[in-house]
Structure 1
Amino acid sequence: MIIVRNSNVSANGSIGAIRGLLASRMMQTAAIRAVSLITILIIWQVIGRSVDPVLFTTPVAVAKAAVTMIGSGELWTYLAPSLLVLAYGMALACIIGIAAGLLLARYWMFDVAISPLLTFLYSIPTVALVPLIVMWVGFDTGAKVVILFLFAFFPVAINTYQGVRGVDSKLLEVGQAFRCSERQLWTNIILPAALPFIMTGLRLALGRGLIGMVLADLYTAISGIGYLIVRTANTYQIDRMFVPVVLLGFLGVSLTWLLRIIEARVAPWAARKDND
C-alpha cells in the first residue's frame, strides 16, 4: 500500500509538473507575441506620423476610423456579404476537395483519368478565369462563390491526395492481414493518417479563400469588403482603407487559430507533433 501511494504521489507530481511547464510555455508565447505586436504598432505609428496622410496613416487613425465605421454600421454592411461568400465557397471547396483527393489517391482509375485535368486547371492563374466566370454566372453572389471555390479547392484536394498516398504501406498490409474491410481500412488507418494533411490543406485553402473573396468583390459587383477597400483608396481615405485590410488580417488569424483548435480535437497526435 505504501508503494502504491508513493507511486500515485509521484504520478500526480509528474502531471502537475507537466501542466506547470505547459502553462509557463503558454505565458511565454503570449508575452512574446504581445511584445512583438506592440513593437510593430509603435514602429508603424512613428513612421506613419512622418509620412503624408494622403499616402499613409497611423494605427491611432485606423482605430478611430474603425470605431466610426463600426458605429455607423458601414463596415458590417460591406463585410456581411463577403463572409457569406466565404462560408459558401469554403464549404464547397472542403467537401468537394476532400472527396476528390480521397478518390484520386485511393483509386488509380480516377487518378489516371482526372489528375491531368486538375493539373491543367491548377496551372491556369485563377484571375485569368474571372472574366469567363462572370460571363457564365453573372455578377451576383454565385460568381463570387465560384471564384472563391477555385482559389480554395486545389490546396484541399492536393493535400488530401498527398496524405492518403503517404499512408505507410506496412500499416495497410497489417490491416489486410487482419482481414479488415475497405471501410475499416478507411476509418482506422487511411483517414487518421491523412487527417493532418487534410487540416493543413484547409489552413492553406483559408488563406487563398480570403484572397479569392476580395478578388471576387473587385471583379464582380459593387459590394463586399473588396469594394470598400477600392472605394476608400480611390477617395484617398487611407485610414478608412486600412480598417478592412486589418480586419481581413485578424479574420485570417482567427479562423486559422480555430482550425488549429479543431485539429487538436480531431487529430491530437498531429497537434502534439507540431508543438514538439
Structure 2
Amino acid sequence: MTLYGYKVPKMASLLVWVAIWEIVGRLELVMLFPPFTEVLAALGDVVTSASFAEAMRITVYSYVMGLSLAIVVGIAMGFLMGLVPAVDGLLNMWVNIFLSAPLSALVPIFMILFGMGTPTVIVTVFMFSVFIIALDTRAGVRHVSGSLMEMAHSFGASKFERLKIVFLAALPEILSGVRLGVIRGVKGVVIGQLLVSIIGVGALFTLYSNNFLMAHFWALILILFTLALTLAGLVARLETRIEYYAGARS
C-alpha cells in the first residue's frame, strides 16, 4: 500500500482500526466495546484458564474432524462434477444452493439428528466447508487443458496416472477452495457451538456474555480470528509454492 508516495505496511490499516476501537472504548459510547487495551489484558486471563484449555480441545477436535471430512468429500465431489457431466448436472444446483443458503438455520436440525454434542458441531463444520471446496475443485478440473490429457493418453498413461495429472493441474484451485473452507470451517465451529451452547468455545461465549465480561468475550473472538487467519495464511503460502502447476493448463 502506497500513501503520498511512501510505502506503508499493510499492518498500518490494522493499527488504525485498533486506535479507533480504543477511542470508542474509552469514550464508553457502546458498552459492548471495551477499550482494546482491556481486551489485551483479558487475553491472558482467557488463555490461562482451565476452561479455555478444555474448550479449545473440544473445538479443535470438532474443527479438524469436520474440515478433514469436508476436504475429502469436497475434492471427490468436485472431481466427479468436473469429469462426469451427468454428475455435474445432478449436483451443481444443490451445491450452489447450500453454498449460498444460511446454513446456521440448519444447526437445530443437526441437533435433532445428532444430539447436543460434538457430532453436531462436526457436521456443522463439514457443511460450512464442503461446498466451496467442491466448487473450486470442479473449476480446477474443468480448466485442465484438453491437450494435456491428449498428451497423457498418447504416452500410454493409465487411468490412475491421468487422474493424477488432472489433480496436479487443478491443484491451485483445489488449494484455493481448501483455504476458503478453512475460514468457513472456523465460522461453522463457532456457530455450531454457540447454538449448542454447552460445549467448547460456545460455552465460553455464553458464559462471558451472560456475565457481561465483554473484554473476555472479545479476547476469545480475537483468538479465533487469529487462528482462522493463520490457517488460511499457511494454505495460501502452500498455494504460492505450487502455482507453477497452473502453467500446465495454458
Give the TM bin, normalised by the shorter chain: 0.7 to 0.9
- Which structure has the larger Rg over C-alpha atoms? 1
Alignment equivalent of 1:77, drawn from 54, 68, 78: 54
Match of 1:89 in 2: 66
Measured at CA, do residues 98 and 139 of structure 1 come closer, stay the same or move farther in structure 2, by a change above 3 Å? same
Residue 137, structure 1, aligned to residue 114, structure 2 = yes
Match of 1:3 in 2: none
Residue 47, structure 1, aligned to residue 24, structure 2 = yes
Query: Is the CA contact 1:96–1:153 (under 8 Å) kept in the aligned structure 2?
Result: yes
Query: Is the CA contact 1:264–1:271 (under 8 Å) kept in the aligned structure 2?
Result: no
Alignment equivalent of 1:196, drawn from 169, 172, 185: 172
Separation of aligned partners in 2, 1:74 and 1:67: 13
Alpha-carbon RMSD? 2.5
Measured at CA, do residues 49 and 221 of structure 1 come closer, stay the same or move farther in structure 2, by a change above 3 Å? closer
Normalising by structure 1, report the TM-score: 0.79
Q: Output the amino acid matched with 2:102.
A: P
Deviations 1:76-113 (A, max 9, x none): 23222111111110000001110111122112343344
Separation of aligned partners in 2, 1:219 and 1:41: 29
Query: Is the CA contact 1:54–1:237 (under 8 Å) kept in the aligned structure 2?
Result: no
Q: CA deviation at 1:117?
A: 4.3
Match of 1:214 in 2: 190
More displaced, 44-53 or 133-142?
Answer: 44-53
Which structure has greater helix proportion?
Answer: 1
Deviations 1:225-269 (A, max 9, x none): 13322331232211111011111110111101111233344x142
Separation of aligned partners in 2, 1:37 and 1:243: 16
Q: CA deviation at 1:124?
A: 4.1
Number of equivalenced pairs? 242
% identical aligned pairs: 28
Gaps of 5+ in 1: 1-27
Normalising by structure 2, report the TM-score: 0.86
Match of 1:156 in 2: 133
Gaps of 5+ in 2: 1-5
Measured at CA, do residues 211 and 179 of structure 1 come closer, stay the same or move farther in structure 2, by a change above 3 Å? same
Query: Is the CA contact 1:57–1:239 (under 8 Å) kept in the aligned structure 2?
Result: yes
More displaced, 99-108 or 219-228?
Answer: 219-228
Query: Is the CA contact 2:169–2:246 (under 8 Å) kept in the aligned structure 1?
Result: no
Separation of aligned partners in 1, 2:155 and 2:55: 57
Separation of aligned partners in 1, 2:98 and 2:30: 43
Measured at CA, do residues 54 and 271 of structure 1 come closer, stay the same or move farther in structure 2, by a change above 3 Å? farther
More displaced, 135-144 or 49-58?
Answer: 49-58
Alignment equivalent of 2:207, drawn from 222, 225, 231: 231
What aligned pairs does 1:239-258 form with structure 2 within 5 A after superposition?
A: 239-258=215-234
Q: Output the amino acid matched with 1:84.
A: Y
Separation of aligned partners in 2, 1:49 and 1:148: 37
More displaced, 108-117 or 45-54?
Answer: 108-117
